[in-house]
Amino acid sequence: MALPLSWEEETCVYTGNSSTPRGERGSCYHFAMSGKSYQVIFEHFTSLLPKILVNGTVFARMSPGQKSSLIEEFQKLNYYVGMCGDGANDCGALKVAHAGISLSEQEASVASPFTSKTANIKCVPHLIREGRAALVSSFGVFKYLTMYGIIQFISALLLYWQLQLFGNYQYLVQDVAITLMVCLTMSSTHAYPKLAPYRPAGQLLSPPLLLSIFLNSCFSCIVQISAFLYVKQQPWYCEVYQYSECFLANQSNFSTTMSLERNWTGNATLIPGSILSFETTTLWPITTINYITVAFIFSKGKPFRKPIYTNYIFSFLLLAALSLTIFILFSDFQVIYRGMELIPTITSWRVLILVVTITQFCVTFFVEDAILQNHELWLLIKREFGFSSKSQYRTWQKQLAEDSTWPPTNRTDYSGDGKNGFYINRGYESHEQIPERKLKLGSQPTEQHFWTRL
């Protein structure tokens, strides 16, 4: 027999937290149901279940199986579901949910990945903040390692073009003193104490992340190629191994105490096996400072993490690496130049390198902070170009907001499982009797009728 679903109109109260605008129909109502009501709708009114869930607020007196079923139905609508429970009857739902939080250290703590020390739901915002901070930190480390490979690839490609390369100690400073230390401490920044009203990008292939890597790669490529070509235009430039006499003659113009020795053939001799060039000396400080700047930029704090200066070890390592690089750039010590396999240049050229790296940092920081991480700007772009979420619950919300017949009021729907009859729930006890007009249609008029009121 068919099961009737009776709708009764209630007072609509706007909460201010609805996902649809206040003026649209569908933004001022909520559904509350018990476990028995949910079971009937789940079995006999499957088509209505998504419509009810997107505006469902209260689900009470549910069995363990119904809790798990409810979470799975929400997940089918592409919701990320969290579940709090403190008893053995919550174990199934805690395992099914994306984030299960046990509010006790009893049986539920075994089934849930998280256990709260306080027996209330105050831990939920804290877990969300920590989860978002961990996600942003992971993406930040991913972007840094990606940019590290791209920056080094560009510089190595330019040097290989002229059969040159960075020295061993130059690679050692970049790989160990900067990259390794950054990766170990970059993710230690704690979550921001205030929960943001929106979530960060949840996919590696999201437009903000891809644009961040692409634009930073473009900036790095432009700076390195410009420096590589511009150093060749300097009056003191020469190819060291092909024009060693010119190189030795130009040493008197440099602000340095370093001197080169001549071997028995009369040519300049340096550390055996090393490859020195003005291109290497120019590109190494640019790329090294670029590593430091991208590590700083990708460690953005608010709104998901605390400011970068609260991560004391990471901040100290960045300052130490930057200070070391600038010291090597402006030092005039022969031991440093021999060890780092660099060639001394005039002071004005070193200052120019520092100015270029500072300019690159300012441009990159502005683009990353004011454009790529601007949530309001991305929302505006989505509205202008008509982009919308493809999640099932977003689609349902949009359809229901445009449906003038939803939610139905003062109406009775039938499941269609029977013919000209009603579903009689023998085990349900209710003080509401079946109307006399409808009892004549039922097969057992003495039994009570199950009504689902929403």
Q: Which of 19-28, 99-108, 178-187, 353-362 has the lowest mean pLDDT?
A: 19-28
Are residues 37 and 176 located together in one domain of the fold? no
The residue among 125, 130, 109, 10 whose CA lies nearest residue 58 is: 10
Q: What is the pLDDT at residue 250?
A: 52
pLDDT in tens, 210-240: 999 999 999 999 999 999 999 999 988 887 6
Closest CA relative to residue 85, chosen from 109, 56, 63: 109
pLDDT in tens, 271-282: 433 467 889 999
- pLDDT of 293 higher than 70: yes
* Helix 278-297 / helix 312-330 crossing angle, nearest 10 deg: 160
pLDDT for residue 341: 86
Evaluate if residue 410 carries a pLDDT over 80: no
More confident residue, 250 or 327: 327
From 385, 404, 437, give the residue that closes a domain.
385
Q: Is residue 373 part of a domain?
A: yes
Residues in the chain: 454
Q: How far apart are the first and last CA of the chain?
A: 22
Contact 116/101 with Cβ under 8 angstroms? yes
Residues 284 and 267 in one domain: yes
Q: Is residue 186 part of a domain?
A: yes
Q: Residue range 126-135: average pLDDT?
A: 92
Same-domain pairing of 187 and 285: yes
Of the candidates 145, 152, 303, 129, which has an alpha carbon nearest to the alpha carbon of residue 209?
A: 145
Give the per-residue pLDDT at 419. 40
Report CA-CA distances (Å) from 78 to 20, 64, 94, 148, 306. Answer: 17, 22, 18, 35, 30
370 and 278, same structural domain?
yes
Of 366, 385, 404, which marks where a domain is finished?
A: 385
User: Which residues are bridge partners to 33 per DSSP?
Assistant: 59
Q: 418 is written with which tokens?
A: 């029977």
User: Within 10 Å of residue 97's Cβ, how many Cβ atoms?
Assistant: 24
Q: What's the rounded Cα separation, in Å, for the pair 40 and 453?
A: 12
Where are the alpha helices (H) located in 237-343, listed in sequence order? Answer: 244-250, 278-297, 312-330, 334-340
d(CA 300, CA 125): 21
Average pLDDT estimate for 169-180: 90
User: What is the rounded CA–CA span in Å between residue 251 and residue 229?
Assistant: 21
Both 262 and 396 in a single domain?
A: no
Q: For residue 223, which of 155, 139, 321, 319 has the smallest C-alpha distance?
A: 155
Q: Looking at the domain assignment, is residue 89 inside a domain? A: no
What are the b/e assignments for 352-372, b being 16+ CB within 10 Å? bbbebbeebbeebeebbeeeb
To the nearest whole number, what is the mean pLDDT of the chain? Answer: 79
What residues make up the domain containing 200?
Answer: 136-385
Residues 451 and 430 sit within 8 Å (Cβ to Cβ):
yes
Contact 264, 154 (CB under 8 A): no
Closest CA to 129 of 297, 300, 303: 303
- Same-domain pairing of 44 and 145: no
Report yes or no on 65 lying in a domain.
yes
The answer to whether 223 and 353 have CB atoms below 8 angstroms apart is: no
Q: Is residue 165 part of a domain?
A: yes
Identify which has the larger pLDDT, 382 or 146.
Answer: 146
Query: Distance between CA 239 and CA 160 in Å, rounded?
Result: 14
The H or E element spanning position 183 is helix 181-185
Query: Is residue 431 assigned to a domain?
Result: no
363 with 398, same domain: the answer is no
pLDDT for 13 beyond 70: no
Contact predicate 406/26, CB 8 Å: yes
* Structural domain total, the chain: 2
pLDDT exceeds cutoff 80 at 63: yes
Q: In this structure, are 397 and 297 located in the same domain?
A: no
Which range among 257-271, 353-367, 400-414 shows the weakest confidence by mean pLDDT? 257-271
Contact 132, 200 (CB under 8 A): yes
pLDDT band at 354 (very low <50, low <70, confident <90, very high): very high
Residues 249 and 365 in one domain: yes
- Tell me the mean pLDDT in the region 44-54: 88
- Are 33 and 145 within one domain? no
Pairing of strands 82-85, 4-7: unpaired
pLDDT band at 453 (very low <50, low <70, confident <90, very high): very low
Q: Does residue 299 share a domain with residue 274?
A: yes
Give me the residues paired with residue 413 across strands: 5
Q: What is the pLDDT of residues 179-207, one digit of tens each?
A: 898 889 998 999 999 999 888 888 888 88
pLDDT of residue 118: 81
For position 22, what pLDDT does the model report?
Answer: 41
Question: Do 63 and 154 lie in a common domain?
Answer: no
Decide if 300 is inside a domain.
yes
Tell me whether residue 101 is in a domain: no
For residues 13 and 203, the model is more confident at 203
Nearest one of 47, 32, 56, 46 to 452, comparing CA atoms: 32
3-state secondary structure of 246: helix
Question: Which pLDDT belongs to residue 429?
Answer: 40
Could you tell me the pLDDT band of residue 116, with boundaries at 50, 70 and 90? confident
CB 66 within 8 A of CB 39: yes
